Structure 1
């Protein structure tokens, strides 16, 4: 596995994934207010007053080498759309997880998240030479599960009573993955989906 560049920027036609910094605070506050995503108890979207803490925590994990956090920015106007990350980086496998992803509600269905996943997985498989990319989500988050399955990911299993959610309930975590030999097919599907938004 090639080391993942902790300061890399990944750019596409619709979206740019740039390294998270404190400069993104106000844009992320505006993004989380778009649709009040934190009201969905099964997600990990922070409240506006929790954005600073989220940035601090992700930058701490970045310094420790266990996360590479990004902010998604719309190419056309520079609007901050949300955040995502590489995490659980396992160079000995090699494998990486993609997650901690959320985007402002008004961007759902516009192709920006599809392109973000295409950028991240292209880097993971073709530059970092990962053997697999993993996704995790709550059993209760049907929207996220469907989106992960549309990426071409396969269900690996369910970790029951895996962690506590923000409302104190125990979360069952659904685990998916895409392996290196599956990537060409998944990539072609993502490129086809993205083309519908870029034409």
Structure 2
């Protein structure tokens, strides 16, 4: 039996709710990340300077084939504080990528990313039937690599000169993955981390 392709769905936890990304999230997202160079430092898009720029990012996500984007809603405030996506789905070979993730700096080093990834991983492995979840990030983005490692993902290697950055330099891309048989132990660790606060 093959895995199922992701479809729009709302995933709810204690700290965050992931809901299908839409244009209504633009004002919150601009408030969370607008004009913050550090948030977009290693991302393939320029730092949004206006709400219209954020609207363009949202449209790009919605228009990308094979992308299922989520707005990350902080339950304490009810506001969108970031975006995360399923990408590159292959139901036959049972894999999906989690990517396109960014958050406002106010929620860095909080439970937001941990619970968002726990929700996505639970959905991918337990509801969609995926056998492999992947992440890719800029080799210079140590913060992202550390966050991925904390999830329990395994480093797989580096794809050299993978894409051009917005400043014209060439990025090497670091690859990580988690397999379905690694998921129970990772789920336990992530659940314990959230419970510990």
TM-score higher than 0.5: yes
- Contiguous gaps of at least 5 residues in structure 1: none
User: 1:17-56 to 2 correspondence within 5 Å?
Assistant: 17-33=18-34, 35-38=36-39, 40=41, 42-44=42-44, 46-49=47-50, 50-56=53-59
Instruction: For residues 155-182 of structure 1, give each alpha carbon's deviation from its aligned partner in whole angstroms, at most 9, with x where no partner exists.
Output: 1110000001111110000000000000
Query: What is the RMSD computed on CA atoms of the aligned residues?
Result: 1.5
Tell me the alpha carbon deviations over residues 127-147 of structure 1, each in whole angstroms, 9 at most, x when there is no partner: 001010000000000000111
Q: Does structure 2 conserve the Cα–Cα contact (< 8 Å) formed by 1:87 and 1:97?
A: yes
Structure 2 stretches lacking a partner, 5+ long: none
Q: Does 1:108 align with 2:108?
A: yes
Instruction: Please name the residue that 1:8 is paired with.
Output: 9
Q: d(CA) in 1 for partners of 2:40 and 2:125?
A: 34
* Equivalent runs, 1:72-87 vs 2, <5 Å: 72-87=72-87
Deviates more, 1:29-38 or 1:129-138: 29-38
Q: 1:89 touches 1:95 (CA, 8 Å); kept in 2? A: yes
- The alpha-carbon deviation at position 54 of structure 1 amounts to 1.0
**Which residue does the alignment assign to 1:172?**
172
- TM-score normalized with structure 1 length: 0.92
Pick closer, same or farther for the CA change 1:38–1:118 going to 2, 3 Å. closer
Separation of aligned partners in 1, 2:189 and 2:119:
13
Between the aligned partners of 2:103 and 2:35, the Cα distance in structure 1 is 9
How far 1:4 sits from its partner (Å)? 3.5
Contact 1:130 1:180 in 2 (8 A): yes
2:55 is the alignment partner of 1:60: no
